[in-house]
Amino acid sequence: MKFGKKIYTVSELTLSIRTVLEEEFPLIWVKGEVSNLSKPSSGHIYFSLKDSLAIISAVWFKSNQNIGQNLSPESLKNGSQVLCAGRISVYPQRGTYQLIVEFIEEVGIGDLYVELEMLKQKLGKKGYFDESRKRHISKNPQRVGVITAPNGAAIQDFLRVAREMGMPFRVRIYPSTVQGENAPAEIAKMIEIANSEKWAEVLVLIRGGGSFEDIHVFNSETVADAIFKSSIPVVTGIGHEIDYTIADMVADYRCATPTYVAGFLWEPIENYIQMLDSLVLSLFQNINRHLNFRLNRVSGYLEKLNAYSPKRIMKNLEHSLFKVTNDIVSSMSGIIHRKERELIHLIFTLNIRFKDIVERTNRNLKDHTKILIFNASKKLDKLERDIDLLTNKVYLADPTRPLYKGYSMVKRLDGKVVISSKELLVGEQVNILFKDGERLAQIIE
């Protein structure tokens, strides 16, 4: 029997349905309760989303589980109320449709993120995040104001690392709660008090790790205003390296953790000791080299002076005198006396000339030594500035530095860096580099 209409095979019909669904729902948000949760060894997570009237199957592939997620795979449990972003597709082997999850978060967190983004835009327009307004933080400050919970682990870690640096410092703690609804106002008040006292060279705002809700107090506009208005530079060290708050964005400098703040403010005293030893050694080498040069010149002067030494002249004169004496032995005594006076005067004159030459040489030696020490000091200052400049250039040229601020780098499998989304094809596999490793991903659209 033949029909006038198209006859589909099962696979053709399934493919057509999948195409329609994927085109109609390229990206949707679905809210529901997790049930039938399964976590096999493959790393993929299978579960169902349900409400009081319906249920839908969902799969969260391993490749999507570490891409900007706000809910870890370990935190996902049966009964969790979640909000999933993904696309609708069809599983051909069973003929069922399912949600391919690309992003998942707890219900309620989404509202916080929306509020956070709106606040970021507001403060950004007011110039709170401008790099041009951020101030330089001097190394090795001696007076540091710390705003944190006085009994928390963060202040203990901060002080421990600061002491390990070995540099002299004094800390004044401005106590404040760092979570809860009262925390933003307390933090802002402590910043205001520290500015009124004008004691600290730099203010440090620190807190240990916690959940998104705990850290969220540092996304407060109240805290952002206090940091922005502070006349004292502010350094933050809030949570863990992956935590990045509005307070971090407004601060003059952001460190990943409280311990990183101490390492940023103070350098190990051993570095300065080694640098000083090296400079002293270089100074002594330069001084010795120049002194040897000057001594060689003085030795040359002394050799020339020996040719005009009074002893040599005296010997010559004695010889002449002996000859003259023999010649004029019969001459008048007046002539003998006159010659003796001339001889005495000549000896006195030669002694004076010798002393003048020695004194002038000593003065020249002292003047050259002062010039040498001055030039060596200038050279050491220039070397120190050159070292600081080269260190800064190396730090700025580090291609992996953006990875520690939460950015990532996309590379093709052949190692070529991708700089535009237009370079990638759907289905193509790429490597995504993070600060602590890389992950294999696939372009899905």
Q: What pLDDT was estimated at residue 364?
A: 76
pTM of the model: 0.45
Tell which residue, 131, 145, 402, has the closest CA to residue 251.
131
Over residues 16-20, the mean pLDDT reads: 84
Residue 1, pLDDT above cutoff 60: no
Buried b (16+ CB within 10 A) or exposed e, 203-216: bbbbbbbbebebbb
- Region for 415 from its dihedrals, namely left if φ exceeds 0, alpha if ψ lies in -120 to 50, beta otherwise: left
- Whether 249 and 314 share a structural domain: no
Residue 324's pLDDT band, with cuts at 50, 70 and 90, is low
CATH code where residue 52 lies: 2.40.50.140
- Whether 237 and 141 share a structural domain: yes
Do residues 18 and 90 make contact, with C-beta atoms less than 8 angstroms apart? yes
Residue 351, pLDDT above cutoff 70: no
Residue 110, pLDDT above cutoff 60: no
Residue 118, pLDDT above cutoff 90: no
- Structurally, the chain folds into a number of domains equal to 4
Residue 4, pLDDT above cutoff 60: no
Over residues 72-86, the mean pLDDT reads: 85
Q: Which of 20-29, 277-286, 299-308 has the highest mean pLDDT?
A: 20-29
- Whether 102 and 16 share a structural domain: yes
Q: Who wins on pLDDT, 364 or 135?
A: 135
**What mean pLDDT value characterizes the chain?**
83
Distance CA 339, CA 348 (A): 14
429 lies in which domain range?
Answer: 403-442
Residue 443, pLDDT above cutoff 80: yes
Q: What pLDDT was estimated at residue 314?
A: 67
Asked whether the CA dihedral 112, 113, 116, 121 is positive or negative, the reply is negative
- Whether 94 and 125 share a structural domain: no
What pLDDT digit, counting tens, does each position of 236-261 carry?
A: 999 887 778 999 999 999 998 999 99
Residue 431, pLDDT above cutoff 80: yes
Residue 326, pLDDT above cutoff 60: yes
CATH code where residue 143 lies: 3.40.50.261
Q: What pLDDT was estimated at residue 401?
A: 74
- Whether 338 and 367 share a structural domain: yes
Residue 427, pLDDT above cutoff 80: yes
Residue 11's pLDDT band, with cuts at 50, 70 and 90, is confident
- Whether 120 and 263 share a structural domain: yes
- Whether 35 and 91 share a structural domain: yes
Do residues 84 and 104 make contact, with C-beta atoms less than 8 angstroms apart? yes
Residue 42's alpha-carbon distances to 39, 85, 383, 424, in angstroms, are: 8, 22, 57, 27
- Whether 77 and 18 share a structural domain: yes
* Backbone φ, ψ for residue 216 (5° rounding): -60, -20
Residue 321, pLDDT above cutoff 80: no
Start-end of H helices in 6-129? 10-24, 109-125
Q: What pLDDT was estimated at residue 308?
A: 63
Q: What pLDDT was estimated at residue 174?
A: 96
Do residues 144 and 171 make contact, with C-beta atoms less than 8 angstroms apart? yes
Over residues 414-427, the mean pLDDT reads: 85
